[in-house]
Every structure is written in structure tokens, then in C-alpha cells.
Amino acid sequence: MELVVYNINGSSTSRKVELSDDVFGIEANDHAIYLDAKQYMANQRQGTHKSKERSELSGSTRKLKKQKGTGTARFGDINSPVFRGGARVFGPKPRIYRFKLNKKLKALARKSALSYKAADNKITVLEDFNFDTCKTKNFVQLLNNFKLADKRVLLVSQRADSNLYLSARNLPYAEVINADSLNTYQILKAYQLLIVESAIADVERICLK
């Protein structure tokens, strides 16, 4: 498929860029997208949750009453979960939520997400540019030129650009990443995908490897 290349002022240039149908035009695999997005969100979890078990509470271990003959239910020490302030039954423990996925499945998920965006006309190609200084208003002006103010935008650049990254950092609805860091979750989360022209080759490379 062909897309027109735009400059940062929102005007179309006379050039077009060819996007690979093997990346932007496949039949999407929803289950691959689900697994990759699930892995991404699982990897963000700290897994440091913890509640105290019965043996970890401070309190006497004295048996409160005799086992039999009271006419009521038996119970042991004051740390029992049935008492107020007692331990928690089957409480959370520190754990690792990460899990592995095959590289080919992750590549399929990225291609599927990009194909959905391409089918919905949610991909815009920008000619190469850079900011001389890191100013948020420069990035806001770029979004306004494309009528994307207050929209969730993901800008994919070829290489790390500190001025570009810092200019978008204060905007909660905008994100700048390198092509090598592109992942399925961020693609789907974005309302519009802005790809710098020089980054297209890198995007296709990581999706086809």
C-alpha cells in the first residue's frame, strides 16, 4: 500500500512511500494480539504484594480455650483468620508475572496490530525532522497541525532523539518511541500512529525477522 508523506506542518509533500503488505496488509490474528498485549501488561507488574500469614503475625500463640466441652466451635490462638485482626487466608505473595512468548508470535501480533491501523487509515507518515530544542509547545503544534490535539498519539522515530522525547514527555496522551521498541500494546492503545519516513524500514525489519 502507498501512503502520502507529510511534513510537520501538516501539508502533504509530492512523495509517497510504499508500505510492505507483509507487515501492513496481513489478515490479523486476534489471539496473537491478545497474548502479546497480555505479556506486555504482565511485565509491567511489580509483583511485590504481600499479606501476613498466620505464623508471621505478632501475637500470642496461647490456645484461648480448651479443645472440647465448651459447646462452641474449637479454635486456637488469637492469630486465627476467623478473628478480627487475625491473619489473611490465602493472601497474596510476591511473585513474578512474566511469561515467555515465541518471537514469531510476537512478530505476528505486531503485524496484525499495524494491519488494523492501516485498514482504519490511522497511520500517517512524516518526513524526517528534528527539534532544535526540547519544548512541549513544539510537539503540541505538530499535533495541532494534524488535528490530533488531545488524541492519544504514538510517534515512531528511527533513533533516540532526546529533544523529541523530552518535548512529548509532559503530554499524557502522546508518546515517542524508537522503531526497535515498537510493541503491540502501544500500537493498539494509540488513536493515531505517526511514523517517521526513515523508521519505516526498521519497523518492517523487526516485524519480519
Domain boundaries, the chain: 2-44+99-208, 51-91
For residue 58, what pLDDT is reported?
A: 86
Closest by CA to 36, choosing from 91, 100, 80, 83, is: 100
Supply 176's cell numbers. Answer: 515517542
**Which pLDDT tens digits describe the chain residue by residue (209 residues)?**
888 999 988 888 888 989 999 999 999 999 999 999 999 999 999 999 999 888 888 888 888 888 898 898 888 888 888 888 888 888 899 999 999 999 999 999 999 999 999 999 999 999 988 888 889 999 999 999 999 988 899 999 988 788 889 999 999 999 999 988 899 999 999 999 999 998 999 999 888 87
For residue 193, what pLDDT is reported?
A: 93
pTM of the predicted protein model: 0.82
Domain spanning 2-44+99-208, CATH class: alpha beta
For residue 196, what pLDDT is reported?
A: 92
How far apart are alpha carbons 82 and 97 in whole angstroms?
Answer: 30
* Cα angle: 206, vertex 208, 209; to 5 degrees: 70
For residue 159, what pLDDT is reported?
A: 80
Q: How far is CA 112 from the centre of its chain?
A: 16
For residue 112, what pLDDT is reported?
A: 95
